[in-house]
Amino acid sequence: MMLHSYRKRLEADLATWTAAGLIQPEQALGIRRAVQASGSGNRLPALLGLLGGLLLASSVLAFVAANWDLVPRLGKLSGILILIVAALATAHRFDRAQARLAGDAAATTATLIFGAGVALVGQMYHLPADWPVGSALVGIGALAVAALMRSDGALIIAFACMIAWLFGVHDVRGTGANLWYLAFFLPALALALGRGNRAVHHMAVLAALAWLVLIVGSSTFHNAEMGTHIAYLLFVAVCFIGLGLLALDGRLPALLSACTAWGLLGYVGVIGLQLSRVLEPAGAVAGFAASRVIVSGLLALGAVGALLAFLPDRRSAVAMAAALVLAMATSLVFWSGAGQSFGGRVVVSALVLLSSSAMIIAGAVMGQRRVSLAGAGAFGVAVIVLLYRTVGTLLDQSLFFLAGGVLLIAIAAGMRMLLQRFGALQPGGAA
């Protein structure tokens, strides 16, 4: 959680607890002082030093580039090596002095200089223009620095270079899964699992997601395969959501909690794309379940089952499982060919709206605002798609929205009555 958001929420909670008599004002003051003492103000000098070091490195590189033609080749190579060694020595010195952020900045600077050196050496010796190979070389160097110097910045650069190499090879060869990528990714993932930096966690998850997305191959956006690809991406998003929520609950390594944001983002985008395709006559043609779709679907069902089995709050587990299963059911309707009929389009539309509504409920129950926002985003995307591509005639569309609105209001009223009956909501309280 970001420190500013945490403090803002804590202030609101302290005021509520003090007013309710749960804690004394003196205790609230003590909590505020403890949080203030553990704040990030003492990290500001190191952060400014990091930014200053990066600017100094940029200044040196710009100066060398401006006078590049005047420097002999041996001088160029020597200069690059001297800069790298000096930056790494500085990083080691800061690390021994327990100045971790400054040391990380110096190690990251060394990695950036190495990357610039690879490009300059290639230009100097007129090597073939093969930027994916260059990305791989920089990634290997960054991975070595991340391992030896425990640099989070170098590890982030390594993941970025891996992704660039993966897409570069995919663009050149037009292939899907690249198993050589795992030789880069798995060692970097092993390093990332031991780091507490959230940027590292997100880059690791993004690197995994890039490989999974490119498994679909070069025909990702081919019309005949679109339905199959959409289903595969939807199942991947479900798997990511399940892994992320289990990690947030402490069941899995903290790194996997970064899967939640990417899974929810994929859920919003893919479910809207699925609905848009089914409502299009040419896009509602029955598809087929490729092997990768079947495997990803089984894994997604496993993730849903894990949520039901391990999340301590049964209400949030059931609501989230319902949201994910309803979303996955849209692919079954597509494969059956029912999406070509009016009734099938109504079913898919209803499934999408019910799934997004369940997602909102799950986020509210488990206290995860990002989950509720994803559900609200999916609901809004679905409404926009339905207004753009009508379910039958405009009159049919009007009746569909009317029935959906009445159903949701009825569910809300029923939930309120149940909560009041079981004492979870005081009479006269807000819904």
Residue 159 structure tokens = 């993941």
- Mean pLDDT throughout 349-357? 86
- Residue the block writes with tokens 């539309």: 349
Tell me what percent of the residues of the chain surpass a pLDDT of 70: 69
H or E segment at 70?
Answer: none
- For residues 423 and 162, the model is more confident at 162
Place of tokens 């807000």: 430
pLDDT at residue number 46:
58
> How much is the pTM?
0.75
214, pLDDT greater than 90? no
pLDDT in tens, 293-332: 888 889 999 999 999 999 888 888 898 999 999 999 888 7
pLDDT tens-place string over residues 265-295: 999 998 888 887 777 766 555 556 667 788 8
- Residue 363 contacts residue 324 (beta carbons within 8 Å): no
- Distance in angstroms (rounded) separating the CA atoms of residues 353 and 319: 14
Do residues 327 and 267 touch, judged by C-beta distance below 8 A?
yes
pLDDT over 90 at 215, yes or no: no
- Provide the pLDDT confidence category of residue 428 given band limits of 50, 70 and 90: very low
- pLDDT score, position 308: 92
The per-residue pLDDT of the chain, averaged, comes to: 77
Between 361 and 68, whose confidence is greater? 361
Report which of residues 44 and 10 the model is more confident about. Answer: 10
Residue boundaries of the structural domains of the chain: 219-392
pLDDT digits (tens, 9 = 90+) for 238-261: 999 999 999 988 888 989 999 999
Q: Tokens for 313? A: 């709050």
Q: Which residue has the higher pLDDT, 407 or 263?
A: 263
Each residue's pLDDT tens digit, 134-143: 888 889 999 9
- DSSP for 306-319 reads HHHHH-S-HHHHHH
Q: Give the pair of three-digit tokens for residue 147.
A: 């391992």
Residue 335: its pLDDT value, please? 67
Question: CA 332: distance to chain centroid?
Answer: 26
The HSE-up count of residue 159 (CA atoms within 13 Å, CB side) is 24
Q: Measured between alpha carbons, how far is residue 307 from residues 241, 251, 361, 388, 403 in Å?
A: 10, 10, 15, 35, 31
Given a cut of 60, is residue 218 above it in pLDDT? no
What distance in Å separates the CA atoms of residue 126 and residue 120, rounded to the nearest whole number? 10
Cα end-to-end span (Å), the chain:
27
Span 89-125, pLDDT tens digits: 988 888 887 778 778 888 888 888 888 777 777 666 5
Whole-number pLDDT of residue 142:
92
For residue range 39-75, what is the model confidence (pLDDT) as tens digits?
A: 544 555 656 666 666 676 666 667 666 666 666 777 7
